[in-house]
A and B are shown apart, each in its own frame.
Chain A
C-alpha cells in the first residue's frame, strides 16, 4: 500500500515505503530531518533526482550522481561514515551530490565535499565527508561535463 507524502516538486503523491531512506544523523544544518525520500525527476533520462524530506514539504534537494557529470569520481570516506549506514562494502553504496542551482541555472554546482551515501539494501543514508582533497562544496557541473566531452572527443 502506498504512503501519501507532500512533496515540493510534485505536490501530494503516493510513494512506496521502499523509497524512504533513514538518515539517523540527518544532514548538516538539517539534523532534525531523519527520513528522506528519493524520487526520480519527472522526465525520463534526467540525471537529476529529488531528495525530499519526509515530513517537510518545502525541504527538497536536487541531487545527481557524480558519474553523471564527471568522467572519474572516487568516494573516499572514513570508516565511521560506512558504519553509520551499516555497510562494510563501499562499492555497494549509492552516491549522490547535492546540487545548488543559482539564479543562472547554467552555473549550478554539485557538492562533492559532503557526498550523500545510501546503503540501498538497508535503506540508511548519511551525508559523508570526503577525505579527498580533490573535492569541494562547489563543482561547476557544466564545466566538469565540458572537460569530459573534450577528453572523450
Chain B
C-alpha cells in the first residue's frame, strides 16, 4: 500500500481524473472531498459490507416459501 502524508487542503491525484482533497481534520475524523468523473462510483467501504451481509441474511432465512401467502395477506388487510 502506498502511504502519503497530506495536510489540510492538500490533495492527491489518482490517475489524471480523480482528485482526493483533505477538507477537514477533527480529532480522529478526516473529511475527504473527491472529485471524479461521473462514471466512477465512490462509496464508504462499510456500505458494500453491509449490503453483502444483508444479502446473505436474506438468503439464509429459514422461512418456508409456502408461508409467503400468509405474509401477502398482511398487505391485503392493511390496504384500505
Instruction: State the A residues within 8 Å of B (CB).
Output: 8-9, 27-30, 41-43, 45-48, 59-62, 68-69, 78-81, 83, 98-103, 105-106, 108, 111, 113-114, 127, 129, 137-138, 142, 145-146, 149, 152-153
Contacts and interface: CB of A to CB of B under 8 A. Distances in A.
A8 B65 contact: yes
A43 B51 contact: no
Contacts of A60: 59, 65
Given A42-B68, A79-B39, A27 B75 contact: no
Nearest to B71: A105
A78 B52 contact: no
B52 A106 contact: no
Interface of B: 38-41, 43, 47-48, 50-59, 61-63, 65-72, 74-76, 78, 80
A contacts with B: majority SS: mixed
A48 B55 contact: no
B41 A81 contact: yes
B70 to A, nearest CB: 7
Contact of B55 (A30, A47, A62, A102): A30
B39 A46 contact: no
A98 B75 contact: no
A111 B58 contact: yes
A145 B70 contact: no
Given A100-B61, A129-B41, A129-B43, 19 more contacts: A8-B65, A9-B68, A28-B52, A29-B55, A41-B69, A46-B68, A46-B75, A60-B59, A78-B38, A78-B41, A80-B41, A98-B54, A101-B58, A101-B61, A105-B71, A111-B51, A111-B55, A149-B78, A152-B80
Contact of B47 (A9, A43, A46, A113): A113
Contacts of B38: 78-80
Contacts of A41: 68-69, 72
Contact of A129 (B51, B66, B69, B70): B51
